[in-house]
Amino acid sequence: MDTIEAIKQQITANPIILYMKGSPNQPQCGFSARSSQALMECGERFAFVDVLSNPDIRAKLPEFANWPTFPQLWVAGELVGGCDIICEMHESGELKTLVQETATAQASAE
């Protein structure tokens, strides 16, 4: 499976996925730390991919997403955005609503 196909599969298989540097428990950059913290505060499970340990994904995802930086949050197959957007949505309450609605929809589909 090529890298773009792997990315598509990850996004399809995980209703909430964060491409970040490091992990939520050990982020490797401030932007990834702030983004993963905002997501964790929403109270729902989410997948993540450490782009530092996946150099092919780190190289190809910006091209696929047409978004040059990390982290990248994908919800229900759609790119939400990076750190600034994630944090703004978190502060307004919009992120929690989106994440909870997506998690609820996923749970009822299973």
H or E element that contains 74: strand 72-75
Is 29 one of the annotated binding-site residues? yes
The residues, any chain, with a CB within 8 Å of residue 72's CB and separated by 6 or more, are: 18, 19, 20, 61, 65, 79, 81, 82
Residue pair 54/17 in contact by the 8 Å Cβ criterion: no
**Sign, CA torsion 59/20/22/49:** negative
Is 42 one of the annotated binding-site residues? no
Is 58 one of the annotated binding-site residues? yes
Residues making up the binding site: 21, 29, 58, 70, 83-84
Residues making up the binding site for glutathione: 21, 58, 70, 83-84
Residues making up the binding site for [2Fe-2S] cluster: 29
